[in-house]
Copies of this chain bind each other. A is one copy, B any other.
Amino acid sequence: MPRSRASSQDRSGPRRRATITDVAEAAGVAASTVSRAFTRPDRVNHRTREHVLAVADELGYAPNPAARALESGRTNTLALLVPDISNPYFSGVIKGAERAAAAAGMVLVLGDTQENPATEEQLVRRLGPAVDGFVLSASRLPDDELLRAAELNPIALVNRATPGVACVVADFDSGTRQIVDHLASLGHRSLVFLGGPPESWSGARRWFGLQAAAEAAGLTATRSGPYSPTLGGGPAAADAVLAAKATAVVAHNDMLAIGVMLRLAERGVSVPGDVSVVGFDNIVGSDFCSPTLTTLAERTEDAGARAVEAVVAQTVARSSEPPTRVLPTQLVVRRSTGPAPVRSTA
């Protein structure tokens, strides 16, 4: 049987991995005993177990997860899909998910959907049989696809809500209220929202919340955009801000907010003297840009962790009513917001 294995005579090729049978032979026991020694330590004689484990260690044996998965149908692997791994915003989600996955004894597979629904769909399909569940962060999939995927695999969403699918979302209602109240208390009478990608669920929630909060506080809220949620989106957004003679702007996210401030500085506009700027995300960098950025902080690590927990829970027992968790948000006030400038047209 000329199977494609590493022939044992290559100079430095990977040594053939020890299998459970190798260990069994070397230890003079049956394979099932070796298996038990690893998985049900209490169901095997203490001394046998010691011996088996010693032999296994000597042979460098580690159970083959593929074989285990085949038998049990469980892979002990979770997949986390994000739109853009290099976006610092997702670092927190990733970190939290990693931690929770490790705590649950699971391995995390990371996927980058490149902001592309087709890529995301493909990853879900391809990874599906290889994982026990998915965490989809800022998913771009339409509701019906999400539902379909959720039939085959446990799924939890982060910052995206779809009825029937577990999700963890930031409390944008409270968050936008905090932002508006903060601006109102500084004397601002109106704000401009600089929108991000039209497909962004959280973008929609942010704008919705801002409108409601503005109305409640007696401010006028208008929307501009869409702009790229990156530093590169800054110039166009900043120019629009100046044209609109806004005294306060709320950007889709911190990257855009920082890009805006860069451009405003270039054009000789003072922040917060002339314009106050607020972002979303509280990314690394919002604390050292110039001026430092007032922004709404989400608990991204918690979000990642909670989502993993939700998926793990589903792998154990599917509940009929998938939970929705709302995580608190908190406005971090820094130097980019200040009193509304006094206008001649008061």
Q: Mark A117-133, 1 if CB is under 8 A from B, else 0.
A: 00000000111111000
- List A residues 263-322 near B (Cβ within 8 Å): 284-285, 287-290, 318, 320
State in angstroms the CA–CA spacing of A86 and B92 once bound together. 7
Query: For residue A288, which residues in chain B have a CB less than 8 angstroms away from its CB?
Result: 231, 258, 262, 285, 289-290
Instruction: Given the known inter-chain contacts A14-B318, A290-B289, please indicate yes or no for A127 contacting B152, CB distance below 8 A.
Output: no
A60–B152 touching, CB < 8 Å? yes
Q: Which residues from B are CB-within-8-Å of A125?
A: 62
Q: Chain B residues near A65 (CB, 8 Å)? A: 66, 129-130
Q: A85: which B residues are within 8 A, CB to CB? A: 91, 94-95, 98
Q: Which B residues touch A88, using CB under 8 A?
A: 86, 88, 91, 284
State the CA gap A229–B128 with chains docked (Å).
38
Whether a CB of chain B sits under 8 angstroms from the CB of A32 is no
| Residue on B nearest A231 in the bound complex, by CB | B288
Assembly CA distance A153 to B6 (angstroms): 11
Query: Which range contains the number of A residues in contact with the other chain?
Result: 35 or more
A63 within 8 A of B: yes
A66:B63 contact, CB within 8 angstroms: no
Q: Is A13 an interface residue (CB 8 A)?
A: yes
Contact partner of A94 among B73, B86, B98, B151, CB < 8 A? B86
Complex contact A10–B86 (CB within 8 A):
no
Q: Select one of B10, B66, B91, B92 contacting A75, CB under 8 A.
A: B66
